[in-house]
């Protein structure tokens, strides 16, 4: 290999590495960004089946602070954040918070996960309609997990692609439940 070929290959490698690094950084920032939503944005009414096949309509739960979590059993960050949602559901359900899981997954895998992890909040089966709902709520990258928090009037107050943290969610829940 000549020196010129080596330099061209080395330059191509550097450019490819820099481009891949920039794309990776952009995706990471998009997934980790907790984005306050405009106050005028509202949760659309939607109906999805729960794990037993019964329809669940969002409109029936207006007046609650809702935490909608789009997730899947095969998604490692989704699995890691689920214990946080279980803990916060137990802590805040009597104060007017409602956690709702929207699984983009196989129904039996979801049922098994619920049983194994003692999840008591509503778990819906999203499939294609769940993906479309997440898109309508701002999940441009169709990333999982994706969490949306609404106030008692159904206004979207937070959207987050990527794993949710207690540091992000706890103060927001406290604030919204006091209103």
Region for 68 from its dihedrals, namely left if φ exceeds 0, alpha if ψ lies in -120 to 50, beta otherwise:
beta
Phi, psi of 40 (to 5 degrees): -80, -15
Same domain, 77 and 1: no
Q: How confident is the model at residue 17 (pLDDT cuts 50, 70, 90)?
A: low
Same domain, 25 and 83: no
Rounded CA separation 8/15 (Å)? 11
Terminal C-alpha separation, the chain: 70
Take residue 29 and report the two structure tokens written for it.
């920032």
Same domain, 96 and 24: no
Q: What is the CATH number of the domain that holds 155?
A: 3.40.30.10
Same domain, 21 and 49: no
- Give the structural domain span for 142: 36-178
pLDDT above 70 for 142: yes
- pLDDT tens per residue, range 19-58: 545 444 544 454 444 454 543 388 998 999 999 999 999 8
pLDDT above 90 for 9: no
Rounded CA separation 49/161 (Å)? 23
- pLDDT tens per residue, range 62-92: 899 999 999 999 999 999 999 999 999 999 9
């Amino acid at each position: 290999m000549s020196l010129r070929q080596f330099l061209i290959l080395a330059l191509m490698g550097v450019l490819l590495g820099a481009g891949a690094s920039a794309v990776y950084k952009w995706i990471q920032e998009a997934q980790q960004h907790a984005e306050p939503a405009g106050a005028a944005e509202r949760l659309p009414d939607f109906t999805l089946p729960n794990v037993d096949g019964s329809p669940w309509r969002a409109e029936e739960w207006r007046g609650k602070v809702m935490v909608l979590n789009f997730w899947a059993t095969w998604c490692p960050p989704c699995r890691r954040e689920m214990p946080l949602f279980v803990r916060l559901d137990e802590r805040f359900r009597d104060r007017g918070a409602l956690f709702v899981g929207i699984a983009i997954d196989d129904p039996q895998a979801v049922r098994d996960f619920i049983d194994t992890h003692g999840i008591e909040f509503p778990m819906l089966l999203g499939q294609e309609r769940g993906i479309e709902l997440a898109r309508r709520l701002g999940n441009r990258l169709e990333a999982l997990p994706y969490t949306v928090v609404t106030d008692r009037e159904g206004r979207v107050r937070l959207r987050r692609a990527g794993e949710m943290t207690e540091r992000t969610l706890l103060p927001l829940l406290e604030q919204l439940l006091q209103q």
